[in-house]
Amino acid sequence: MIRQPPAILWRIVFRLSLTTLVAIVLAYSWLWWKYHSVTEVMRDQLLSEFVSSVAVNLRATPDGSVAVNMSEATLAYYANTTDNDFRFSIRDAGTGTILKVVGGDVGEPPKEAIRALTLYQYNPDGPGPMRMFGAAMPSMVGDRKVVVQVEESGRDFEAITQELVRKFATEGGWLGAPFLLAMLLVSLVTIRNSLLPLQRLSEQAAGIGPSSTDIRLPEAGVPREIMPLVKAINSALDRIEAGFRIQRDFTADAAHELRTPLAVLRAHVETLPDPATRDALVRDLESMTRLIAQLLTVARAEALTVAMDEQADLNAIAVDVGTFLAPMALKQHRMIEVIESPSPCLITANAEAVFNALRNLVENALTHTPADSTVSVRVENPAILRVEDRGPGIPAQLRDRIFQRFWRAERRKSGSGLGLAIVREIMMAHSGRVEVEDRPGGGAIFSLIFPDQGAQRR
């Protein structure tokens, strides 16, 4: 079993969804990277401001020590290691001796801090999770050069990061899922609507068959991307129609040209002195003449076009066929009964073509119904002709094949095999159909079913 490829609609939706999902992930990743970059800049800026603030507030005491000229509240804030991780110290630039510490121990400053403001970081617990960030800068206290250090644990910024992530997820980050869903729904509707012209073209193309080769796919309103396909299909249909027309014309021409030689040949045969030979040849010539006539009828049925202003009365056609074939039926010791509809059955149809279709069915029924039996022609509303015989019936497995040209079964020991094919062509020209079923009590029922709203042009 060949696996069906996925529909274009779902291919586009899947790829668009995947692309959108990747875009959302990349956007969130960029926002995350941007946030971390901004937080690092803010942290460095904050440390630089703090270390500068401490440096400008240093003063020398009379005993030679260093004091910080800050308010008690500010110093208490630095000294409170429970609520924050800020700390600072003042070192002698020459000896590295710590002159003052507020808030906790600090690490060794980088050598560059003796000359300029320097930012640094280190792990006080080795490979542990804690990380310290600091800023150091030189400053003069009287005539002594010192190095001011301000440090902060990364836990504060980690706490801020976690809080921001939580707020983002609860207040805005969840919008990615409904946005993706909304975008998929909009894309699905848009793509489906965009593919509607292709779907309509597919439905119209499915209705094109051997009996409707004159139909072409419309080019008006077709998207530019599909236009080459539509033109290619219409071009192929032009070539197919031309081939059918050549075949149909050849059949009609050949049948027409053979009628005159057969008539001349029959005239010569009828002058033969031997009656047995003469009668056998005449029967053969009649069979050939009938075959040629049916070939002409097939060609005409294939080219039949029903005008919208043509009308036919099914009751009148049934009576005409019964009257036309009554002598044949009586000669074969059979009867034809016509059961008209109580109300008129007027349809849009070619009366001559419907007459030929019904005549073929009645002739077929007379051939296969037993002697001294009746063939019934019934007219039913809204637009149905039924022919019932009392013959052996048609097996269900053969009911599709009997309408093929030149097909014969045991039930049909004589004839050309074109009668039922002609019936089918005529019904297709009228946008109708022919059906066959078993008759209760034995036999077959052939039904010509016409559209109740009038036939459509092929």
Q: Could you tell me which residue, 371 or 21, shows the higher pLDDT?
A: 371
- Position 338 in a domain: yes
251 and 368 share one domain: no
Task: Find, among 310, 297, 343, 340, the residue nearest to 322 by Cα.
Answer: 340
Distance CA 361, CA 374 (A): 14
- Closest to 109 (Cα-Cα) out of 53, 145, 149, 144: 149
Q: 257: domain CATH number?
A: 1.10.287
Give the pLDDT band of residue 277 (cuts 50, 70, 90). Answer: confident
Judge if 108 and 45 occupy the same domain. Answer: yes
Same domain, residue pair 161 and 20:
yes
Dist. CA 119–CA 113, nearest whole Å: 8
456: in domain: no
Quick check: is 193 in a domain?
no
Q: Mean pLDDT across the stretch 356-363?
A: 89
User: Which has more pLDDT, 365 or 124?
Assistant: 365
Q: What is the CATH number for 138?
A: 3.30.450
For the chain, the average pLDDT equals 79
- Residue 156 and residue 15 in one domain: yes
Indicate whether 415 pLDDT > 60.
no
pLDDT over 70 at 298, yes or no: no
Looking at the structure, do residues 116 and 256 belong to the same domain, yes or no?
no
Please check whether residues 267 and 368 belong to one and the same domain.
Answer: no
Task: Specify the higher pLDDT residue, 377 or 163.
Answer: 377
CA 263, chain centre distance (Å): 60
Q: Residue 33 falls within a domain, yes or no?
A: yes
Same domain, 12 and 89: yes
Residues 6+ apart with CB under 8 A from 244: 210, 213, 302
What pLDDT is attached to residue 447?
92
Q: Is residue 205 one of the residues assigned to a domain? A: no
| 110-144 per-position pLDDT tens digit | 988 888 999 998 887 776 667 888 999 999 988 88
Q: Is residue 216 part of a domain?
A: no
Amino acid at residue number 427: M
Looking at 272, 299, 326, the residue that finishes a domain is 299
In the chain, the number of structural domains is 3
CATH number, domain with residue 399: 3.30.565.10
The pLDDT of residue 248:
64
Which H helix or E strand runs over 346? strand 346-347
Q: What is the pLDDT of residue 191?
A: 75
* Domain C-terminal end among 245, 276, 299: 299
Q: Is the peptide bond before 370 cis (omega within 30 degrees of 0)?
A: no
**Averaged pLDDT for residues 235-241:** 82
The answer on 234 and 348 residing in a single domain is no
Q: Can you give the pLDDT at residue 119?
A: 92
Secondary structure element (H or E) that encloses residue 237, with its range = helix 227-269
Percent of the chain exceeding pLDDT 70 equals 77
The beta-strand segments (E) located in 320-367 are: 335-339, 346-347
Q: Would you mind telling me the total number of residues written for the chain in this entry?
A: 458
Residue 175: per-residue pLDDT? 67
**Residues 84 and 113 reside in one and the same domain:** yes
Same domain assignment for residues 271 and 326: no
Residue 180 lies in a domain: no
Please give the sequence-ordered ranges of beta strands (E in DSSP) within 209-334, or none if there are none.
312-313
Residues 436, 317, single domain; the answer is yes
Residue 23 lies in a domain: yes
Residue that terminates a domain, selected from 249, 277, 299: 299
Lowest-confidence segment of 58-62, 160-164, 375-379 by average pLDDT: 160-164
Task: Provide the domain limits for residue 130.
Answer: 8-174
Give the pLDDT score at 411: 44
268 and 320 in a common domain: no
